[in-house]
């Protein structure tokens, strides 16, 4: 009995159409999605929804047109390009506003410090003419250097009677302010070694304290005042002559400029 030959397997040359159709369907869905998100409005959103149904279910609702009647595919320009305030723009607006506020606040502070400097200059006018007092307005604040020879005798810390009235007038000006006040005592580089003042540190500190006591007794709030003795460590000029040493022996009163952030209300 002859052995039957194996039945030839049936091969179809059309199987590629299935993959091709799936590819075309997905490609169509992709372009529909890209078109829909290019300009979102109600009409295109509905087109997007219907197109997805076509792509994945292959069912079309004949009673629902892809585009509603009298509805253009392209949305009006005012709908396509809404005005959007980006985060960068908002931050720029805030920065510009903050800069303007700080600029205005700094102007007010500068005017306030200038008025204070003028008030002190009027009180100390006679000493300024004699070059015993120097007043400057700096970024740090108003700085007033008073020659020690105007305030004290040589090696002494007790204020001379002639200086008390001037310091009381200074206190009258400062008592109206609520800014920090630093009083620094300075000496020249000539060493001192006595039972009362073993070094220039003690001498400079004691002289600054004497000035502070008068200011406080004359109405300046004690909580606003700080005292420092700096000895000969911050000379105005080199200690190479008698005249320069006299300039370096001084008491410096600094009225610190208000803190800009605090004045502007940062953090409130």
What CATH number is associated with residue 217?
A: 3.30.1330.60
What's the average model confidence in pLDDT over 105-128?
90
Residue 44's pLDDT is 63
Q: Has residue 264 got a pLDDT over 50?
A: no
Which residues are 134's β-sheet partners? 145
Phi–psi pair at 95, nearest 5 degrees:
-65, -45
DSSP assignment letter at 8? P
Q: Do residues 249 and 206 share a domain? A: yes
For residues 34 and 213, which has the higher predicted lDDT (pLDDT)?
Answer: 213
Residue 184's pLDDT is 97
Q: Has residue 76 got a pLDDT over 80?
A: no
Check: CB of residue 73 under 8 Å from CB of residue 43.
yes
Instruction: Give the pLDDT confidence of 249-259 residue by residue, as tens digits.
Output: 999 999 998 87
Check: CB of residue 211 under 8 Å from CB of residue 183.
yes
Q: Do residues 196 and 164 share a domain? A: yes
Q: Do residues 133 and 72 share a domain? A: no
Which of 12, 26, 79, 80 shows the shortest CA–CA distance to 54?
A: 26
For residues 213 and 97, which has the higher predicted lDDT (pLDDT)?
Answer: 213
Among 48-57, 133-142, 211-220, 242-251, the minimum mean pLDDT is found in 48-57
Residue 95's pLDDT is 78
The answer to whether residue 85 is domain-embedded is no
Instruction: Give the pLDDT confidence of 153-210 residue by residue, as tens digits.
Output: 988 999 999 899 999 999 999 999 899 999 999 999 999 999 999 999 999 999 999 9
The count of other CB atoms within 10 Å of the CB of residue 16 is 9
Q: Is the overall model pTM greater than 0.75, yes or no?
A: no
Which of 170, 268, 173, 183 shows the shortest CA–CA distance to 224?
A: 183
Contacts (Cβ under 8 Å, ≥6 apart) of 216:
222, 225
Residue 148's pLDDT is 94
What's the average model confidence in pLDDT over 138-145?
93
Q: Do residues 163 and 67 share a domain? A: no
Q: Do residues 113 and 74 share a domain? A: no
The two tokens of residue 59 are: 């069912």
Domain that holds residue 70: 16-80
How much of the chain is in helix, strand and coil states, percent to nearest 5? 50, 10, 40
């Amino acid at each position: 009995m002859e052995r039957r030959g194996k039945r030839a397997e049936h091969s179809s040359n059309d199987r590629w159409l299935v993959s091709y159709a799936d590819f075309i369907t997905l490609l169509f869905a992709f372009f529909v999605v890209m078109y829909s998100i290019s300009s979102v409005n109600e009409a295109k959103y509905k087109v997007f929804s219907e197109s997805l149904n076509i792509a994945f279910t292959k069912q079309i609702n004949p009673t629902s047109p892809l585009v509603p009647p009298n509805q253009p595919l392209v949305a009006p320009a005012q709908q396509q390009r809404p005005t959007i305030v980006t985060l960068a723009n908002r931050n720029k607006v805030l920065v510009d506003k903050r800069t303007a506020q700080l600029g205005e606040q700094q102007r007010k502070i500068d005017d306030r410090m200038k008025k204070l400097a003028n008030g002190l200059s009027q009180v100390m006018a006679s000493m300024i003419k004699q070059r015993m007092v120097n007043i400057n307005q700096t970024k740090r604040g108003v700085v007033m250097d008073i020659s020690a020879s105007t305030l004290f005798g040589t090696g002494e810390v007790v204020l001379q009677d002639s200086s008390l009235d001037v310091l009381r007038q200074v206190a009258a000006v400062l008592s109206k302010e609520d800014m920090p006040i630093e009083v620094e005592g300075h000496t020249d580089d000539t060493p001192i070694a006595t039972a009362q003042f073993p070094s220039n540190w003690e001498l400079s500190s004691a002289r600054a304290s004497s000035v502070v006591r008068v200011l406080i007794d004359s109405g300046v709030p004690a909580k606003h005042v700080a005292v420092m003795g700096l000895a000969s460590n911050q000379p105005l000029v080199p200690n190479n002559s008698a005249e320069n040493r006299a300039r370096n022996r001084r008491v410096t009163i600094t009225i610190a400029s208000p803190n800009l952030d605090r004045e502007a209300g940062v953090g409130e």
